[in-house]
A and B are shown apart, each in its own frame.
Chain A
Amino acid sequence: MLKHSLVWWLLGERCPWSARVAVLAGRWAVCGRDLVCLLSVVVAVGCTPPAEFGDNSLEWYKQERAARLEPGQGFPEVHRQDVSDITRVWFGTPDAPQLPLLEGEDDPALELLDMGKLAWAAGPVVSRNEESSQGLYRRHCAHCHGVTGDGRGPTSAFLSPYPRDFRLGKFKFKSSPTGTPPTKDDLKTILVNGIPGTSMPSFRLLQDEELDVLVDYVIYLSQRGMVERFLIAAVRELDEDARLVSLPDAARLRDLPLDVQLGPLQRVAPVGGESAADRDSAADADSVGGSEADAKAGADEDDGSESDGGSGAKADVSYDRDKIADDLLFLAEEQMLPVLEKWLGILDFEAKEVDVPAWVLDSRDAAYESQVALGQKLYFGAANCVQCHGETGIGDGQTNNYDDWTNDWLKVEGINPTDAAAWAPYVNAGAHPPRPIMPRNLRLGVYRGGNRPIDIFRRIQYGIEGTPMPASLTLTEEQIWALVAYVQQLPYETLSRPETAKKLENERPVR
């Protein structure tokens, strides 16, 4: 019995039913011996179906509750299918990433993200050459951040803090102001240095190019997640019986010909990746003409393909090609373009040049003492750091806040975080159990966003997005530097290091 259930566990969700049946049949018919049984499991698990992005079930549940539907009742399944189908045709699959391009090769999205890099990061892990491997994201990131970038990888539940969910499009440690996405350099810095004090390790040993590839893929996942969230929110705004795309009854967008699914979008030939899915979509893309021609269905050559699709090669439904194209264009403009435009901003963004004062880490400098004293005054006064970081700076001030990734559902729905019964349904829908966000203990010298003075300066200046750490709107740059000096010397005060003080009294030579 135990062995039996082990087989099931090994197979999990990963294998088609035919393979499971084959394994079980094999077990009863042939497997007298454990070795044969084990081999059949290995063979069966090898037939993993292509990876798919997971639906944002938490957002669905949240919107269903917000729509005040009857308990136990959700949106009709057809809406979930629509959102899933649209994000799939816009962003592809984890094995074959795509971008929603309205302007083909000239689309600004291609300035931000490189299709070749996405193809390198995507897909299962196979060696690319002696130096590097294909599928970098799944090799290095997915076990914590999840294939979908939802921060729900297999190891995520053990970690504190939880791994980042990219789908909200919020990133903490960056050189850009609150509300704007991080630059590629910011994301790369995090990859190189890791995030001290968390489970995010340093990936310094990866090649420079591999880091660029992962940065692009994280942005891609973030865009996909944001667009998906917007589409789900759009479902809630729909009239009763309406759908995101004009299709009859239970017809699915994914069953229609690819050029209908794409509507106003265009595809460019993918670069790099050699998976079967890539080749398929490349072949499909070849058959797709210009988007506008498609939408109008005016040109003669398109009539052929239209009637081909209209006659229902894949699905036996009648649909209005122009209406679908209009719907998709509307959705792309309303839900996708804002996300893209937000990210495109980082192409032109240049962090404001800041001169790091010479005295900030130099206790021998004449200005140092007075600046630290000023910083201390600000800490307890105008800057009001004391409220959260506490009087001694050990982070024991206000500790009942939650970060935006939790508040996104916790606060919106007014749930009491200490009432496990209230948040349990959200956890079932895909949230992590809520944990309060702790203000940093400033006496440890561990700074998540980096320990250079400029890093601390940015944290104070722009705040930390997604957390209760606010941007300092009223402080001047000189005041912020004084705060940096004060904060950075806290770990070296005798109070912070009792073990140092003890050693001085009764010092032993270190061998």
Chain B
Amino acid sequence: MLTHRFWAGLFALVPILGIGLYVIAVLGVGSVGGFSFAGLWLPENANPYANAIDHLFDLVHIICGVVLGVTTSILAYVVWRYADHPGRQAEPALYITHHTLLEWIWTAIPAAILVFLGFYQLQVWADNKMNRPMVMVEGQERAVEPSALVVGKQFGWEVYYPGPDGVLGTLDDQRVENELTVPVGRPVVLRVEAKDVLHSFAIPGLRVKQDVVPGMTQLVWFQVDRPGTYEILCMELCGWGHYKMRARMKAVAEGLEAEVQE
């Protein structure tokens, strides 16, 4: 009996482990053999622009989790129910070429979900990728200027600050390798570029992620609400040293100039 239903058991592991591990990671408690489950999930978000991203992220996970649970459970049940076993009344197998109603259903439901998500996220995309934050300058509303240029290269991040004249790309720019310092509590805009190959500028703690393409200039923006140190990662496989391509972002409440000068 066991051998005949063995495969059904394996199939049943997919929904159990798939959803179980997800729940363990989100809860982040407990440990097995010295391996702690804490910190498996994303770090707490410190970027007010990205609260909506977290909401979308959770929503997509719940939808996918339900679909995964239902479909793989059905699959496991079918494998168990129709497995060969002693005493089974063999029925002839059916060859079905198509089933119009079924096909309509499994096309329409995912399509409806996708269209819903597409419209539901429009504003979030616009806020994070298109509508640059604005500030009031001398009674006029203007887009926030980039406060630093971040250049990805194999394998590290170069950070350029404008220097005393406040303009990037001039003689007095200051370069720091692998460390970015930003102010807390106000919108920050960065220019990101790549020197050699495709990289992706990502700060998981702020839900910021932007592919950077050599020859293109991208802008990213965020606001840090908690002072502290954040991790900057490359999230596009860019070569043998990709794993080394980490940098540090310091969010400081005051004394930004002094920090940068140093």
- Secondary structure dominating the interface of A: loop
Residue A492, interface by CB 8 Å: yes
In the assembled complex, which residues on chain B have CB atoms less than 8 Å from the CB atom of A201?
155-156, 241, 244
Bound-state CA distance A362–B219 (Å) is 28
- Say which residue of B130, B175, B177 sits within 8 Å of A204 (CB atoms): B177
Name which of A188-196, A304-312, A340-348 contacts chain B. Answer: A188-196
Bound-state CA distance A489–B179 (Å) is 25
A202 contacts B156, C-beta separation under 8 Å: yes
A222 to chain B, nearest CB (A): 24
Within 8 A of B (CB), among A437-454: 451
Bound-state CA distance A204–B240 (Å) is 19
Residue A488, interface by CB 8 Å: yes
Residue A354, interface by CB 8 Å: no
Bound-state CA distance A205–B245 (Å) is 10
Bound-state CA distance A487–B158 (Å) is 21
- Given A489-B171, A510-B219, answer yes or no on A205-B177 (Cβ-Cβ < 8 Å): no
In the assembled complex, which residues on chain A have CB atoms less than 8 Å from the CB atom of B217?
510
A511 contacts B130, C-beta separation under 8 Å: yes
- Say which residue of A194, A202, A488, A511 sits within 8 Å of B219 (CB atoms): A511
B158 contacts A196, C-beta separation under 8 Å: yes
Bound-state CA distance A202–B248 (Å) is 12
Closest to B158 in A: A196
Residue A281, interface by CB 8 Å: no
Within 8 A of B (CB), among A463-506: 488-489, 492, 500
- Given A194-B156, A204-B179, A205-B178, answer yes or no on A155-B171 (Cβ-Cβ < 8 Å): no
In the assembled complex, which residues on chain B have CB atoms less than 8 Å from the CB atom of A205?
178, 246-248
A451 contacts B132, C-beta separation under 8 Å: no
In the assembled complex, which residues on chain B have CB atoms less than 8 Å from the CB atom of A510?
217, 219
Bound-state CA distance A192–B247 (Å) is 12
B156 contacts A511, C-beta separation under 8 Å: no
- Say which residue of A204, A361, A511 sits within 8 Å of B171 (CB atoms): A361
- The total of chain A residues at the interface (CB under 8 A) is 20
- Given A363-B171, A489-B171, answer yes or no on A193-B219 (Cβ-Cβ < 8 Å): no
Taking residues whose C-beta sits less than 8 angstroms from the other chain, chain B's interface range is 20 to 34
B177 contacts A155, C-beta separation under 8 Å: no
A250 to chain B, nearest CB (A): 44
Closest to A203 in B: B178
| A-contact bits for B222-262, CB 8 A (1 contact / 0 none) | 00000000000000000011001011100000000000000
Pick from A192, A199, A202, A492 the residue with the most CB of B within 10 Å.
A202
Residue B72, interface by CB 8 Å: no
Bound-state CA distance A199–B156 (Å) is 10
In the assembled complex, which residues on chain B have CB atoms less than 8 Å from the CB atom of A155?
240
Closest to B164 in A: A362
| B-contact bits for A181-216, CB 8 A (1 contact / 0 none) | 000000000001110100101101100000000000
Closest to A197 in B: B153
In the assembled complex, which residues on chain A have CB atoms less than 8 Å from the CB atom of B179?
204
Within 8 A of A (CB), among B165-208: 169-172, 175, 177-179
Residue B154, interface by CB 8 Å: yes
Bound-state CA distance A81–B245 (Å) is 42
Closest to A450 in B: B175
B172 contacts A192, C-beta separation under 8 Å: no
| B-contact bits for A340-371, CB 8 A (1 contact / 0 none) | 00000000000000000000011100000000
In the assembled complex, which residues on chain B have CB atoms less than 8 Å from the CB atom of A451?
175
Within 8 A of B (CB), among A24-63: none
B141 to chain A, nearest CB (A): 15
In the assembled complex, which residues on chain A have CB atoms less than 8 Å from the CB atom of B219?
510-511
Closest to A497 in B: B169
In the assembled complex, which residues on chain B have CB atoms less than 8 Å from the CB atom of A488?
171
Closest to B157 in A: A202
A163 to chain B, nearest CB (A): 13
A492 contacts B171, C-beta separation under 8 Å: yes
A202 contacts B171, C-beta separation under 8 Å: no
B177 contacts A202, C-beta separation under 8 Å: yes
A448 to chain B, nearest CB (A): 12
Bound-state CA distance A199–B195 (Å) is 13
- Given A155-B240, A363-B171, A488-B171, answer yes or no on A204-B178 (Cβ-Cβ < 8 Å): yes
Within 8 A of A (CB), among B90-140: 130, 132
Between A and B, 12 residue pairs with Cβ closer than 8 Å are A155-B240, A196-B158, A201-B155, A202-B156, A202-B177, A204-B247, A362-B164, A363-B171, A489-B171, A510-B217, A510-B219, A511-B132
Chain A interfacial positions (CB closer than 8 Å to B)? 155, 192-194, 196, 199, 201-202, 204-205, 361-363, 451, 488-489, 492, 500, 510-511
Chain B interfacial positions (CB closer than 8 Å to A)? 130, 132, 154-156, 158, 163-164, 169-172, 175, 177-179, 217, 219, 240-241, 244, 246-248
List the 10 closest pairs (A to B, CB-CB), nearest first: A202-B177, A204-B178, A202-B178, A193-B177, A201-B156, A361-B172, A202-B156, A201-B155, A361-B171, A492-B171
Q: Other CB < 8 Å A-B pairs besides A361-B163, A362-B172, A363-B171, 19 of them?
A: A155-B240, A194-B156, A196-B158, A199-B154, A201-B155, A201-B156, A201-B241, A204-B178, A204-B179, A205-B178, A361-B172, A362-B171, A488-B171, A489-B171, A492-B170, A500-B169, A510-B217, A510-B219, A511-B132
